[in-house]
Amino acid sequence: MAHIVVNKVFPVNKRSLLQSTLALALAAGFASGVLAQDKPLKIGVTAGPHAQIFEQVKKVAEKDGLKIQIVEFSDYVQPNAALAAGDLDANSYQHKPYLDAQIKDRGYKLVPVGYTVNFPIGLYSKKVKKLEDLKEGAKFGIPNDPTNGGRVLLVLQDKGLIKLKDGAGLKATPLDVVSNPKKLKFVELDAAQLARSLDDLDASAINTNFAISAGLNPKTDSIAQESAKSPYANLIAVREADKDKPWVAKLVKAYHSEEIRKFIEVEFKGAVLSAF
């Protein structure tokens, strides 16, 4: 005779089931919250002053519960590409004209959320002590990106070495030079390469962060400097989707603290200026 197995069905206590489900959900939410809090923000910077300053910002931010991982780059292109791709949470290395150009050219959905520092660009030479001593046909190095290249040409115009056509503005290129009495030959190189190429040039414009990294003192080694009154204040950038997140406000607050202002004054002795 066959045996019939009867599965017993026990009544389900709906209240207990609901409580268990809520408990599991809360536990999962708590765990994910802890993980999110413990995961450091990745901040992209260029080597030199930006990296040095953010090492201090990192310490200030930790007091507010914000953990930071600093990621250094050796050029100006990759930090925005990495931020747009989601490999960084923010970056701190560029001025607004450069960011605007990158957004226009590459379609990045990036926005500035706070100003940081200003680096008056310097002109350097190992062959002459004054700009007016440059010989006819001298090779002059300028950054090959449109905004920094234009910035240098405006400095040279301000110093009386060249004249640009009307309306050339911040994006001026060597093609916009309408008067060049010394017949300077402009050598366009990646901004990070200019300091290393100084031996092969008669003079060169070098962004202050790269100058300092190369052991040059903008105050004592430059033969001329950009006016401190310029539109090239640097900034912190994030993705548009993140701009209103609480950590962004905390990050900017840490950078704009009095500790960071004092660090910049003491560490760079006027070569780097606070823009906040």
Residue 34 is encoded by which pair of tokens?
A: 């802890």
- Nearest-10 crossing angle of helices 246-255, 49-62: 120
pTM over 0.85: no
Show me where the domains of the chain are located.
Answer: 36-119+232-274, 122-225
Which CATH class for the 36-119+232-274 domain? alpha beta
The pLDDT tens digits of the residues spanning 25-38 come to 444 443 333 334 46
Assigned token pair, 132? 């007016």
Nearest Cα neighbor of 252 from 232, 273, 229, 275 is 275
The pLDDT > 90 percentage for the chain reads 76
Nearest to 121 by CA among 91, 154, 89: 154
Range 122-225 has CATH code 2.40.30.10: no
The percentage of residues in the chain with a pLDDT greater than 70, rounded to a whole number, is 86
Q: Report whether pLDDT(249) > 80.
A: yes
One-letter amino acid for residue 188 of the chain: E
Calpha distance 220→217 (Å, rounded):
6
Q: How far is CA 82 from CA 57, 240, 261, in A?
A: 21, 14, 28
- Is the pLDDT reported for residue 129 higher than 60? yes
Topology agreement, domain 36-119+232-274 and domain 122-225: yes
CA angle 101, 102, 108 (to 5 degrees): 130
Both tokens of residue 50? 């930006």
pLDDT of residue 34: 36
